[in-house]
Amino acid sequence: MSQAGPHVYDTRSGTGNMMNEITSFEQTPAQIQNPDTMPHSVEAEQQLLGAILTNNDLYDRVASIIGPEHFYDPVHARIFEVASARIAKNALASPVTLKSFMAEDEGLKELGGPAYLANLAGASVSAFAVRDYAQMIYDLAIRRELIRLGRDISDKAARVDVASEPKEQIVEAEQQLYKLSEQGQTESGFKSFLKAVTEAVNVTNEAYQRGGGMAGISTGLADLDRQLGGLHPSDLIILAGRPSMGKTSLATNVAFNVAKAYKRGMKPDGKEGAVDGGVVGFFSLEMSAEQLAGRILAEASEISSHKIRQGDMTEDEFRRFVNAAKELESCPLFIDDTPALAIAQLAARARRLKRTHGLDLLVIDYLQLCRGTAENRVNEIAEISMGMKAIAKELNIPVVALSQLSRQVENRDDKRPQLSDLRESGSIEQDADVVMFVFREEYYKEREKPGDHELDKMEDWKAAMDRLHGKAEVIVGKQRHGPIGTVELSFEAQFTRFGNLVKPWQQVGGDGF
């Protein structure tokens, strides 16, 4: 007999009351310590298998919920596995057809051989409840896994090993728990067109309620919002640029603007959440949390970041700096500056933040500093970009990931970046919903300064510098849901701040003011 446990319906003799036997498997703490009394319901497994062997169409109702690994009885797991393989090939899975595939199965022989399969089908009474049985089997399997995981954590903690630090054990335990929690997403799969249309109408309604033009979260930069329609949930947005272009500054500005505007209330769909702005998670893999906070304080207090680093401030500036810090204390911006973070750990920490504090926007600085599991660098980057897109879809939030560009940009006369300049993998371009490039022509023009003796060239250079000073471009090179194009922004280097560029017709005295 297989490890069926105390509640077993003996289908070989046909005796026993099936419905009375299907009761919750209650256990005392002492019983839980005994591996032979792990949570299970053999009766539910028998009912499910009998229903499938009687009517193969029922398999489709449970295939998204359970697999062979969720069965407690190993013989039942093998029966389900063989039946699944048959049904997947559009072949009949019945006691007669399964008999030849399992004739030599020792576990089935102990249960009565082919007669057990026939008794399973004959004892099946409730096809309509097959999904409930599947959910019950799945839940009990998860409980067993939790017990095993708890024992494993306890055993590892009890072993005092120099190579295994407590902090590492905590991270490992968290990863295993999150991996377990990801299983059994039974609501995935096909949606009816009605449901999809309803969701689309809700998104449009939300944009309409906000005054039109923006369905996503505002970046705080009007022209960029107009081009993108805001930052949309489930989108992976790649923000790329060469060093010193200001991509980290732009990402920091957007994160700060979103967190600063955060207001909680009732959303148009009737759920409670962020009605403006949002809770922001920022993975700073390059800079420390203190450096990132310094950039945000420089922007908020309008004091040069260089002055803040040096502590070279007047009394008035220092007072302004302290007041800005006090105002930002309650800002829902969470920074994780762990270096070389694995994409699996990054995902786990993002889930934890969403569960504990909420999460409306995730920023990652930058993509190439994450770690994957592949040995090949191109495959590793592909794994990371796919992982980031998966986070965006799973948590239903926009993910802004910064990315480096290859050096081939520097070899062109026109230094404006293109999609082909994305470094190390074409998968970044494929996985992204939006790809934006930060470009400051002023940076390159400054390095073309002619000699003092070249007076004509010097005049032209100065005129060009005046025209380009304090300006930046955000080039939208790909947008799955909208047009591509260029957005002009202002850039104040001393505050590392991007802003809305005042157009000529918006100058003081013009029609705009």
* pLDDT tens per residue, range 119-165: 888 877 677 788 888 888 988 988 888 888 888 888 888 877 766 67
**Residue 385 near residue 432 (C-beta atoms within 8 A):** yes
Decide: 49 and 120 in contact? Cβ < 8 Å. yes
Of 174 and 289, the structure prediction assigns the larger pLDDT to: 289
Q: Which residue has the higher pLDDT, 482 or 433?
A: 433
Distance CA 287, CA 293 (A): 10
Average pLDDT estimate for 370-385: 83
How many alpha carbons fall within 13 Å on the CB side of residue 49? 31
Per-residue pLDDT tens over the stretch 69-115: 899 989 999 999 899 888 888 888 888 888 888 888 888 888 888 88
Task: Evaluate if residue 206 carries a pLDDT over 70.
Answer: no
Angle (nearest 5°) at CA 196 between 192 and 202: 145
Binned at pLDDT 50, 70 and 90, residue 362 comes out as very high
Given this model, what pLDDT does residue 364 score?
A: 92
For the four alpha carbons of 426, 432, 433 and 437, in that order, the dihedral sign comes to negative
Residue whose C-alpha is closest to residue 261's, from 284, 278, 245, 241:
278
> Over 50: is that where the pLDDT of 288 sits?
yes
What does the chain come to in residues? 513
Lowest mean pLDDT among 17-26, 250-259, 269-278, 310-319: 17-26
Q: Is the peptide bond before 366 cis (omega within 30 degrees of 0)?
A: yes
Amino acid 315: pLDDT? 83
More confident position, 485 or 509: 485
Nearest to 248 by CA among 109, 343, 367, 105: 367
Question: What average pLDDT does the segment 493-498 reach?
Answer: 77
Q: 179: pLDDT confidence band, cut at 50, 70 and 90?
A: low
Distance CA 464, CA 341 (A): 42
Higher-confidence residue: 475 or 465? Answer: 475
> What is the reported pLDDT for 282?
92
Per-residue buried b or exposed e for 376-387, using 16+ beta carbons within 10 Å of the residue's own CB: eeeebbbbbbbb
Which range has the top average pLDDT, 148-162, 191-205, 448-462?
148-162
| Domains of the chain by start residue, with CATH | 18-181 (1.10.860.10), 216-431 (3.40.50.300)
Instruction: Give yes or no for residue 456 having a pLDDT over 80.
Output: no
Instruction: Say yes or no to pLDDT of 402 above 50.
Output: yes
Across 52-61, average pLDDT: 86
Residue 185's pLDDT band (cuts 50, 70, 90): very low
Of 234-243, 253-262, 316-325, the least confident: 316-325
Confidence band for 195, pLDDT divided at 50, 70 and 90: low
What pLDDT is stored for residue 443 in this prediction? Answer: 78
Residues sharing a CB contact under 8 Å with residue 44, sequence separation 6 or more, in sequence order: 22, 133, 136, 137, 140
Least confident of 15-19, 51-55, 63-67: 15-19
pLDDT at 18 over 50: no
- d(C-alpha 248, C-alpha 495), whole Å: 13
> What pLDDT is stored for residue 263 in this prediction?
83
